[in-house]
A and B are shown apart, each in its own frame.
Chain A
Amino acid sequence: MTATPSRPLLVVGAGIAGITAALEAAEAGREVVLVERDACVGGRVLRNHHYFPKLCPPSCGMEINTRRLERNPRVRVVTGAQVTGCRANAGGYEVTITHAPAYVNDRCTACGACTPVCPARVKDPFNLDMSEVPAVRLPHPNAWPKRFVLDRQACPSGCHACRDACTYDAIDLDAGERTETLQAGAVVLATGWDPYPLERLPEVGGGRSPDVISNVQMERLAAPAGPTGGKIVRPSDQQPPKRVAFVQCAGSRDVNHLPYCSAVCCLASLKQAIYVKEQLPEAEVTIYYIDRRTPGRNEEMLGRVAAMDGVRLVKGKVAKVEPNGPGLALRVEDAQAGRIVHAEADLVVLATGMVPSLGDGARVFGLACDDDGFGVENSGIVVAGVAHRPEDVAASTRDATAAAARACVAAGRSA
């Protein structure tokens, strides 16, 4: 295929991998169009409280990245849109982008006049549905673009309170979907991942008790902008838990669920054990694991947590979690002791794995996937981040930088 050098790269997904791929290519002189389904960029990482192993907030790196996006004239960021068609042609790909209706347009100043008058409440997707927010709102405090969103489906019939409150003509309740066609030189798919659903893990209490939560929910509980303002509490009674159990490989490394290792859950749980102990020094934390996977210098994190008072790491598979009075009962195959042991906890965190989220992407782009749904790239369609393979943020950004290079090559040599 002869690619036309002047054609932009199309990057699909503006999580950490997609943003990185877009910026690395654009800073090398490439034109890039970055398409994101959500109203703002940042994806999954912004829903994390802190990164391991430094325990630093993801919004810090995202601040630099959004600054890079703003400053770079070669990147066009398209939020609230999806790629709905892709056809290979002589110069690369002809791509159809479908823009969701812009109920709030770019005249929005984020002044906030609309939110107080909104009568409708919806579950907050930024907080993984763990809290409620008005239907019209800023998606989260660091949202970029800093523009409000309207969940139009939640609007009461005939209501136009937000439009009336808006001084800037930024709300268009009758906005419609629109499509555009783009000629791209190459495509980077960085559509990320979804957490393995709790409901698929009923044997370890998933979906059966409000106090059995996933690791991604734990991140929101610990985050200052989360549903509890950063307080770690049991969802059932909003009380701080005294005993917290982490169940590793919840779904992962299990041929009945996800045969692969999700690569981040060990470190995520160690990090979350630190969240718990920093907030609730008296709490007892137990981490049940098959292997403690803390590669490279992340080993430090294992040493740090293992040395903490009131933290135990137990090699064993949690076979069952069920409600037991106000608490939860765990049945554990303790591999070290070679027997079944019973334990109790107030809060159980399932270290659920990552499922690649190519969505319709595989079909739209004609992309092959492996048995687990991770994308297997071909010459012009490059895959980056967790859509490519299970990996942590540092590996994902390396992966995305390499993907940017491959995409530049695929789209023709000169930048």
Chain B
Amino acid sequence: MDRLGVFLCTGCGIGEALQVEGLTALADELGAASCRTHPCLCSPEGVADIRAALDGGTIGGALVAACSARAKTEAFAFDTARHAVERVSLREQVVWSHPAGNDDTQLLAEDLLRMGYARLAKTGPAKTLAETIERTVLVVGGGLAGLTAARTAAAMGHPVVVVEKAAALGGSLAALPELVPAEPPYDVLHPNRLPQMISELAAQANVRIFTASTIAAIKGQPGQFQVDLATPDGAVTLAAGAIVQATGSRPYDATRLSRLGYGASPNVITAPELDAMLAAGGLKRPSDGAVPQRVVFIQCAGSRDPEHLPYCSADCCSATLRQVATIHRAHPDVETAVVYRDMRTPGQLERFYLAVQQQPRSLFARGEVVGVSGNGHLEVALRDTLLGEGTVLGADLVVLAVGLVPNAADGEAIRIHRDALKRSQTGESETQREEARKIAAQYAAHEGTEILNLAYRQGPDLPALRYGFPDSHFICFPYETRRTGIYAAGTVHTPMDAAQAAEDGAGAAMKAVQCIEAATRGEAVHPRAGDIAIPDFFLQRCTQCKRCTEECPFGTLNEDEKGTPQLNALRCRRCGICMGACPERIISFPDYSVDAVAGMIKAMSVPDESEEKPRIIALMCENDALPALDVAATLRQGWNPWVRVIPIRCLGSTNIVWIADSLSRGIDGVILIGCKSGDDYQCHYVRGSQLAQTRLGNVQETLQRLALEPERIRVVELAHDEFARVPAILDEFAATIEELGPNPMKGF
């Protein structure tokens, strides 16, 4: 971009704290096509001034030197497909956080102007993506969640394809006549509307249903998936724009619960077995076919148990209440007892719990089950119960409320297995091959579990998170997904009850439709929704190192046979992690590139050793660290004036060359501030901050080789609300740098 216009705001104290003429002179010196000052640039008059210059073609891009890029965003919103615009934070990063009329403050402002100018010079307007987009939503799994997704997407005007592995639709709830209440009245069971929904969907012209079918392969990207099905009538290939995975869950294997008598007595059955028994026409004791006098339900059978399922399955308490209510209505003389640790009936389910509790011959006993013994008549021994120690409950039938196991495949684990298998053949040394064989053996069990069969470099299914659920991990963004355009819903997503599963299906359908609409507009989806810029790969210089294809958290890149990355732009989420990974620096966005940040580093002034003014670069994640810095500034907290902040999209987009450039320019220290990594990561790109730490670990070795102190580089994690730590982090780093003395590379 050339012919750059600089727009300098003198409002909000900027004009008083800084020598504005120094800044305008600097703009001239930098070669700006124009430099205009405005007493309140964000006012309609100020914005009109910028717009006129951009629209009139007198400038090719605008540098807005005013407040933080997070302030007055709507006022300074210009069409990025037509104009390059950069912001320089003179207000937050200079005048609100540093003393007015001070030399260091002025130098800081001038540096930020130089850096912003350099960045703008390397920023071009975004090229828009215009692809042919398929509007069909593929729903994998025809249970309650999947069918609700199908119905929702169809109602939103999208063609729908439902693929169900079983011979009939409906999943685990299909045969139930009634479900727990999800709307008033809350004290009675409600008719199961699933069969009705199935017949309505079957009659809809824009819904195609494939039962007894599985997915052989999914190729392509959102808006352009090619789906190969294996159906009873042979292979079928169709196109889809987005995918809802609602493959549900299966009951925990009760044969592993022998302590609870399963397998030892025919009269110990699981909750799904009780449902089947009730559907088949009645409550019977399996050993002799007699109606049991007392039925004991054991909750948390497998769940909340580190040896079985560490999580709560979230559905069993309400399912047990449904079964108890069903039994009482059909067999008013039968006694029921529910043994539980905690009854979990959140929200209005509490009213249903109360109603079931109030029925005659309905006992709820808190306690832990020690064991179930006997064969015909059973004894359930309890401890920690309110009924007194050593309580034993007699039972004719024991029902185990077994937990739920997601029907999910761990795509990453399968990939690790396949990669290791390959290396066990092609490894350079026997040690490497042996190591690969060990890894392959460790992950072998995942092979054959595939559901989606994605033709993705990073594995054939969604990556699993904790306990094997492909949950999003984000509380605020439950449909955040690591495979763009593929959304999990229902009990495969995270443990939930039937009402929640239906709602989750509708939500996932919303996301699938949204992804298709965004692809049609050529825009990214969450979290950079609306971003139209796509990365450019200068493949002539690619060395096939595969770092980008391996590190992308979203599985965007495939590889050709040689290992050259193949971009699937509609999968891309614009985090820049590939750009940070690339040692050849061949990956760039029009509005964010290795070159642009390197240009900023090159643009700042570095005083020589004799001036005793160290210079520090702070690469700060724009999602959490930069907002924390802005809040610190808003509260007028100050920090060391040697620090120059460079906002970055994600710590994971940090290219090591920025560190090398900084040090070779004589900059004394580099601090990287990003989001929390680890199991409870807060990185919106999942692995960005973790990858940055790994890359920086590698840099430390290089530093030592160059006889540079490793303390010159630091990585810090900072949460969005930790604004109070910002000054201390920067000041303390500055003190460390001062103690180390000047960078010995200065002046070279």
Segment with Cβ contacts to A, from B170-178, B189-197, B676-684? B676-684
Interface centre among A68, A371, A398 (most CB of B within 10 A): A398
In the bound complex, do residue B529 and residue A27 qualify as a contact, i.e. CB atoms below 8 Å apart?
Answer: yes
Q: Does A263 contact B (CB under 8 A)?
A: yes
Which residue of B has the minimal Cβ distance to A253? Answer: B350
Which residue of A has the minimal Cβ distance to B386? Answer: A335
In chain A, positions 375-408 with a C-beta closer than 8 Å to chain B are 376, 389-391, 393-395, 397-399, 401-402, 404-406, 408
Interface centre among B384, B624, B635 (most CB of A within 10 A): B624
Taking A28-B517, A109-B40, A295-B314 as contacts, is the C-beta distance between A398 and B507 under 8 angstroms?
yes
- Chain B 283-304 interface 0/1 with A at a Cβ cutoff of 8 Å (1 = within): 0000000000000000000001
Segment with Cβ contacts to B, from A57-65, A126-134, A202-210? A57-65
In the bound complex, do residue A109 and residue B42 qualify as a contact, i.e. CB atoms below 8 Å apart?
Answer: yes
What are 5 A-B pairs at a CB distance below 8 A? A68-B530, A295-B344, A393-B476, A394-B478, A405-B152
CB-defined contacts of A63 to chain B, threshold 8 Å: 623-624, 627, 720
In chain B, positions 472-494 with a C-beta closer than 8 Å to chain A are 473-479, 494
Which residue of A has the minimal Cβ distance to B724? Answer: A224
CB-defined contacts of A365 to chain B, threshold 8 Å: none
In chain A, positions 111-147 with a C-beta closer than 8 Å to chain B are 111, 138, 141-142, 146
- Chain B 602-632 interface 0/1 with A at a Cβ cutoff of 8 Å (1 = within): 0000000000000000000001100100010
Which residue of B has the minimal Cβ distance to A56? Answer: B682
CB-defined contacts of A229 to chain B, threshold 8 Å: 724
In the bound complex, do residue A61 and residue B477 qualify as a contact, i.e. CB atoms below 8 Å apart?
Answer: yes
CB-defined contacts of B684 to chain A, threshold 8 Å: 64
Give the contacting residue for B346; candidates A27, A224, A259, A390; CB below 8 A: A390
Q: Does B13 contact A (CB under 8 A)?
A: yes
Taking A27-B529, A60-B719 as contacts, is the C-beta distance between A296 and B72 under 8 angstroms?
no
- The smallest C-beta distance from A262 to any residue of chain B, in angstroms, reads 8
CA distance A23 to B477 in the complex (A): 12
Q: Does B56 contact A (CB under 8 A)?
A: no
In the bound complex, do residue A223 and residue B721 qualify as a contact, i.e. CB atoms below 8 Å apart?
Answer: yes
CB-defined contacts of A87 to chain B, threshold 8 Å: none
In the bound complex, do residue A393 and residue B475 qualify as a contact, i.e. CB atoms below 8 Å apart?
Answer: yes
CA distance A394 to B479 in the complex (A): 10
- The smallest C-beta distance from B622 to any residue of chain A, in angstroms, reads 9
CB-defined contacts of A65 to chain B, threshold 8 Å: 476
Give the contacting residue for B350; candidates A56, A261, A395; CB below 8 A: A261
CA distance A16 to B71 in the complex (A): 21
- The smallest C-beta distance from A168 to any residue of chain B, in angstroms, reads 6
CB-defined contacts of A405 to chain B, threshold 8 Å: 152, 156, 506-507, 509-510, 513
- The smallest C-beta distance from A338 to any residue of chain B, in angstroms, reads 7
Which residue of A has the minimal Cβ distance to B525? Answer: A27
CA distance A148 to B536 in the complex (A): 42
Give the contacting residue for B521; candidates A29, A111, A263; CB below 8 A: A29
- Chain A 215-244 interface 0/1 with B at a Cβ cutoff of 8 Å (1 = within): 000000001110001100000000000000
- The smallest C-beta distance from B646 to any residue of chain A, in angstroms, reads 19
- Chain B 464-475 interface 0/1 with A at a Cβ cutoff of 8 Å (1 = within): 001101010111
CA distance A62 to B475 in the complex (A): 11
State the B residues within 8 Å of A (CB). 11-13, 39-40, 42-43, 67, 71-74, 77, 152, 155-157, 183-184, 186, 304, 310-312, 314, 342-351, 354, 366, 384, 386, 466-467, 469, 471, 473-479, 494-496, 500, 503-507, 509-511, 513-514, 517-518, 521, 525-527, 529-530, 623-624, 627, 631, 634-635, 675-676, 680, 682, 684, 719-724
- The smallest C-beta distance from A79 to any residue of chain B, in angstroms, reads 13
- The smallest C-beta distance from A217 to any residue of chain B, in angstroms, reads 18
- Chain A 48-86 interface 0/1 with B at a Cβ cutoff of 8 Å (1 = within): 010100111111111111011011100000000000000
Give the contacting residue for B344; candidates A24, A138, A293; CB below 8 A: A293
In the bound complex, do residue A260 and residue B351 qualify as a contact, i.e. CB atoms below 8 Å apart?
Answer: yes
CB-defined contacts of B634 to chain A, threshold 8 Å: 110, 138, 141
Taking A395-B500, A398-B500 as contacts, is the C-beta distance between A29 and B517 under 8 angstroms?
yes
In the bound complex, do residue A109 and residue B347 qualify as a contact, i.e. CB atoms below 8 Å apart?
Answer: no
- Chain A 359-380 interface 0/1 with B at a Cβ cutoff of 8 Å (1 = within): 0000000000011101010000
CB-defined contacts of B11 to chain A, threshold 8 Å: 109, 111, 167-168
CB-defined contacts of A146 to chain B, threshold 8 Å: 71-72
Pick the 7 closest A-B CB pairs, nearest first.
Answer: A61-B476, A401-B507, A402-B506, A57-B721, A413-B157, A405-B510, A263-B346
CA distance A284 to B511 in the complex (A): 45
CB-defined contacts of B510 to chain A, threshold 8 Å: 24-25, 28, 401-402, 404-405, 408
Q: Does A294 contact B (CB under 8 A)?
A: yes
CA distance A298 to B676 in the complex (A): 20
In the bound complex, do residue A389 and residue B312 qualify as a contact, i.e. CB atoms below 8 Å apart?
Answer: no
CB-defined contacts of B479 to chain A, threshold 8 Å: 398, 401
In the bound complex, do residue A408 and residue B314 qualify as a contact, i.e. CB atoms below 8 Å apart?
Answer: no
CB-defined contacts of A49 to chain B, threshold 8 Å: 721
CB-defined contacts of A401 to chain B, threshold 8 Å: 478-479, 506-507, 510-511
Taking A57-B721, A376-B183 as contacts, is the C-beta distance between A296 and B354 under 8 angstroms?
no
Q: Does A199 contact B (CB under 8 A)?
A: no
Q: Does A157 contact B (CB under 8 A)?
A: no
In the bound complex, do residue A398 and residue B503 qualify as a contact, i.e. CB atoms below 8 Å apart?
Answer: yes
CA distance A399 to B476 in the complex (A): 12
CB-defined contacts of A404 to chain B, threshold 8 Å: 510
- The smallest C-beta distance from B675 to any residue of chain A, in angstroms, reads 8
- The smallest C-beta distance from A55 to any residue of chain B, in angstroms, reads 7
Give the contacting residue for B475; candidates A262, A295, A371, A394; CB below 8 A: A394
Interface centre among A55, A62, A67, A315 (most CB of B within 10 A): A67
CA distance A142 to B120 in the complex (A): 28
In the bound complex, do residue B152 and residue A297 qualify as a contact, i.e. CB atoms below 8 Å apart?
Answer: no
Q: Does A291 contact B (CB under 8 A)?
A: yes
Q: Does A309 contact B (CB under 8 A)?
A: no
CB-defined contacts of B675 to chain A, threshold 8 Å: 60
In the bound complex, do residue B517 and residue A415 qualify as a contact, i.e. CB atoms below 8 Å apart?
Answer: yes
Give the contacting residue for B476; candidates A109, A230, A295, A397; CB below 8 A: A397
CA distance A107 to B721 in the complex (A): 27
In the bound complex, do residue A109 and residue B72 qualify as a contact, i.e. CB atoms below 8 Å apart?
Answer: yes
Q: Does A151 contact B (CB under 8 A)?
A: no
Taking A109-B11, A168-B43, A413-B155 as contacts, is the C-beta distance between A59 and B504 under 8 angstroms?
no
In the bound complex, do residue B350 and residue A259 qualify as a contact, i.e. CB atoms below 8 Å apart?
Answer: yes
CA distance A142 to B152 in the complex (A): 36
What would 12 more interface pairs be, CB under 8 Å, given A61-B476, A336-B384?
A27-B529, A56-B676, A56-B719, A109-B12, A111-B12, A168-B11, A229-B724, A259-B351, A261-B347, A296-B314, A372-B348, A402-B504
- The smallest C-beta distance from A267 to any residue of chain B, in angstroms, reads 10
In the bound complex, do residue B507 and residue A27 qualify as a contact, i.e. CB atoms below 8 Å apart?
Answer: no
In the bound complex, do residue A297 and residue B311 qualify as a contact, i.e. CB atoms below 8 Å apart?
Answer: yes
CA distance A414 to B158 in the complex (A): 9
Give the contacting residue for B40; candidates A27, A167, A338, A397; CB below 8 A: A167
Which residue of B has the minimal Cβ distance to A77? Answer: B74
In the bound complex, do residue A54 and residue B680 qualify as a contact, i.e. CB atoms below 8 Å apart?
Answer: yes
Which residue of A has the minimal Cβ distance to B345? Answer: A261
CB-defined contacts of A60 to chain B, threshold 8 Å: 476, 623-624, 675, 682, 719-721
Q: Does A299 contact B (CB under 8 A)?
A: yes
